[in-house]
Amino acid sequence: MEAGDRVEPQTEELRARRPLFEATADELRAWTVEQGHQAYRVRQIQQWAFHRRASSFEAMTDLPLDLRRRLDADWSLFATAVAFRGESPDATDKLLLKCRDGRMIECVLMTEEHRRTVCISTQVGCGMGCVFCASGLRGVERNLTTAEIFDQVLQAQNLLPLGESVSHIVVMGMGESLANLDALLAALDRVCSADDGLGMSQRRVTISTVGLPEKIRKLAAQDRQYHLAVSLHAPTEELRNELVPVNEKVGLTAVVQAADDYFRITGRQVTYEYVMLGGVNDRHEHALALGRLLRGRKSHVNLIPYNPVAGLPFERPDPDGVRRFVATLRDRGVSATVRKTKGQAIDAACGQLRRRFESAPSPAFVSPLTVEVS
């Protein structure tokens, strides 16, 4: 598949069959024996599905034909269909995936020298309403299912050459991750399972949240190794209330306390994300206040230069100002770095590709919308 092409769904059509990944190895073994085949075939099926990039059951050529046909009748390899693939010159691929109900979700694959990182979504839209973010402009439509979350990793992995795998996951796409925590955890468990998943290390997964204190504590209690990123964006209650409306109910202090608890319970250092909006939260006084808030806390600040969203009144920050902001934090003993903005050419900020796709479909976009999903 070439980037930017019209994309037909996988050779396998999306039908209302159960996604293969939902079955545990034991369940699939029982099903395989029921079909009159030996249980060891399950290892082959899962190898094809999760590591050998099969695009259909038909392509699993070392399985008996009869078993391939039965698989095709009862199971689906994917829960979504690739509707559009965009590629950026900075080695970033963005996939727009169509769900069975016709809704679109986004994921991004970023390829660096030693990393293959996929950024995944957890909801269609978002209900948190951060004023600078494209994801929340129309509110939340629904939570993604476990299958739809897992599928994003699988579909992104399928873009890589055989022998290369997704090495890292960041849950930083559309939606508030912790508002769909149970489905997310179930999907990540399978992604990280060496027995019947992709075998990824939990330590290479970062979950980003707007900061829902009770959910942060619930995540901390899961006995998992996930890295937590908290989207702070402002050093004072007043400014955070303006930028992140949910803060009015939650409160900055409660968010930071929950993040402290996450570190205390898991021993994993928390990252604070801070989107820098030109002239809004990027001034020296903001750096000083952020330094005061985080000084002495075992944390790291990730500054994200704003990626402008059409129709929203925010601008990128001045690069020299960003450098001064970092220096001010570091002078106060707060660890901080600036994130490289990848994928702008393909709208790789959350929710932007879907929005462009839905609001102004160009001829190149029309074909995928006609994909039949039953």
Ligand X SMILES: C[S@@+](CC[C@H](N)C(=O)[O-])C[C@H]1O[C@@H](n2cnc3c(N)ncnc32)[C@H](O)[C@@H]1O
143 in a labelled binding site: no
What is the C-alpha to C-alpha distance for residues 79 and 131, in angstroms, rounded to an integer?
31
Chain-centre distance for alpha carbon 159 = 16
- The answer to the question of whether 158 is labelled as a binding residue is no
Name every residue whose Cβ is closer than 8 Å to that of residue 72 and which is 6 or more positions away in sequence.
12, 56, 57, 58
Q: Which of 219, 256, 304, 348 binds ligand X (CB under 6 A)?
A: 304
Say whether 99 counts as a known binding-site residue.
Answer: no
Mark residues 111-150: x for contact with ligand SF4 by CB under 6 A, - for none.
---------------x-xxx--x-xx--------------
Stretch that binds ligand X, among 143-151, 171-179, 180-188, 283-291 (CB under 6 A): 171-179
Q: Does the annotation place 168 within a ligand binding site?
A: no
Least distance between ligand X and beta carbon 371 (Å):
26
Of the listed pieces 140-148, 280-288, 303-311, 317-325, which binds ligand X according to CB under 6 A?
303-311
How many whole angstroms separate alpha carbon 221 and alpha carbon 180? 16
**Of 97, 108, 210, 234, the one binding ligand X by CB under 6 A:** 210
Our answer to whether residue 358 is catalytic in this structure is no
- Cα–Cα distance, 73 to 66 (Å, whole number): 11
Within 8 A by CB and 6+ apart from 152, the residues are 80, 95, 97, 105, 107, 118, 120, 121, 173
Q: Residue 123 CB, nearest distance to ligand SF4 (Å)?
A: 8
Pairing of strands 81-88, 92-98: antiparallel
Instruction: Name every residue whose Cβ is closer than 8 Å to that of residue 252 and which is 6 or more positions away in sequence.
Output: 232, 234, 236, 237, 240, 293
274's CB contacts (< 8 A; 6+ apart) are 232, 233, 281, 290, 301, 302, 303, 304
Greatest distance between any 2 Cα atoms in the chain: 71
Q: Check residue 210 for interaction with ligand SF4 (CB under 6 A).
A: yes
Residue selected from 144, 153, 159, 175 as contacting ligand SF4 according to rule CB under 6 A? 175
Under rule CB under 6 A, how many of the chain's residues touch ligand SF4?
A: 12
126 is in an annotated binding site: yes
* CA dihedral sign of residues 346, 349, 352, 353: positive
The entry of ligand SF4, ligand X, none that residue 136 binds, CB within 5 to 8 Å by partner kind:
ligand SF4
The rounded distance, in Å, linking the Cα atoms of 329 and 323 is 10
Q: Is 106 in the site for ligand SF4 (CB under 6 A)?
A: no
Which distant-in-sequence residues (6+ apart) come within 8 Å of 318 by Cβ? 278, 282
Contact partner at residue 309 from ligand X, ligand SF4, none, CB < 5 to 8 Å by partner kind: ligand X
- Smallest distance from ligand X to CB 57, Å: 34
* Options 87, 106, 148, 273, the catalytic residue: 106
Smallest separation (angstroms) from ligand SF4 to the CB of 61: 42
Distance separating alpha carbons of residues 341 and 90, to the nearest angstrom: 10
The answer to whether the beta carbons of residues 130 and 210 sit under 8 Å apart is yes
Active-site residue, 106 included: yes
The one-letter amino acid code at 290 reads: L
Q: Is 177 in the site for ligand X (CB under 6 A)?
A: yes
Q: Yes or no: say if 228 and 268 are a contact pair by the CB < 8 Å rule.
A: yes
Neighbour-count burial for 234-250, b at 16+ CB within 10 Å, e otherwise: bbeeebbbbbbebbeeb
Residues 264-283 close enough to bind ligand X by CB under 6 A: 273, 275
| Contact positions with ligand SF4 (CB under 6 A) in 217-246 | 231
The reply to whether 136 sits in an annotated binding site is no
| Cβ-based nearer residue to ligand SF4, 135 or 266 | 135
Strand 104-111 and strand 92-98: pairing? Answer: antiparallel
177 binds, among ligand SF4, ligand X, none (CB under 5 to 8 A by kind): ligand X
Binding site membership for S-adenosyl-L-methionine: which residues?
175-176, 208, 231-233, 307
Which parts of this chain interact with ligand X (CB under 6 A)? 132-133, 135, 172, 176-177, 208-210, 231, 273, 275, 304, 306-307, 309, 349-350
**Binding-site annotation: residue ranges:** 126, 130, 133, 175-176, 208, 231-233, 307
Q: Which residues are catalytic?
A: 106, 350
Contact positions toward ligand SF4, by CB under 6 A? 126, 128-130, 133, 135-136, 175-176, 210, 231, 350
